[in-house]
Chains A and B, each alone.
Chain A
């Protein structure tokens, strides 16, 4: 059974950083791209970046470059996303998603609240 299980909710102050995780199972981790996508309250979906495990590469959306770092741990089939210099408009649910012809499988989401 394919599963993407994300870390729990976080509350952060402006200027802080947050690191989220997404543990995958049930498929060959190295053979599929993984993405981070976020959704602000009442808003649409926003792509943040992609992890290509076998290629050993990450690519970030331009608006997050310099603030986001994505990584992975092959031994645990887990991906990570760290966002620094948090602002109030970073408040959102952050999803990890596996790519197979589109975003085929999703984690349950991790709520990040940025508030002073």
Chain B
């Protein structure tokens, strides 16, 4: 089972805003933040936001990452059809001395 809790699915209308959450503990998200990955079917994941909430070069400003306590969030504004994908959070867990992932959220854009 996943170490970080993500809702299995989120559905939003085209052009609306989706906020995806990732809940961990003080040993991981609370102390290290969380990185966000997007994965389209049949492709490797792509980094959308680093553990310190920075977007890599080339990532749209529509993707906004934040953290409050042990919960990280990814907000996607002005949803487009191509945003439909699986989204994973990940971070280092200081107690496990291991990288951990959330179970992923499948975002559907209606």
Binding site for B on A (CB under 8 A): 35, 44-47, 50, 59, 61-62, 95, 100-109
- A101/B52 contact (C-beta < 8 A), A44-B88, A47-B99, A62-B96 known: yes
Binding site for A on B (CB under 8 A): 2, 35-37, 44-47, 49-52, 54, 56, 88, 90, 96-104
Q: Are B102 and A44 in contact (CB under 8 A)?
A: yes
- Chain A residues near B49 (CB-CB < 8 A): 102
Cα A101 to Cα B34 with chains together (Å): 9
- Chain A residues near B47 (CB-CB < 8 A): 101-105
- Contacts between the two chains (Cβ within 8 Å), count: 58
Q: How far is the CB of A47 from chain B (nearest CB, A)?
A: 4
Q: Are B96 and A101 in contact (CB under 8 A)?
A: no
Cα A50 to Cα B92 with chains together (Å): 11
- A102/B35 contact (C-beta < 8 A), A47-B98, A59-B97, A62-B96 known: yes
With beta carbons under 8 angstroms apart, the residue of B36, B51, B104 that contacts A45 is B104
With beta carbons under 8 angstroms apart, the residue of A44, A61, A103, A107 that contacts B2 is A44
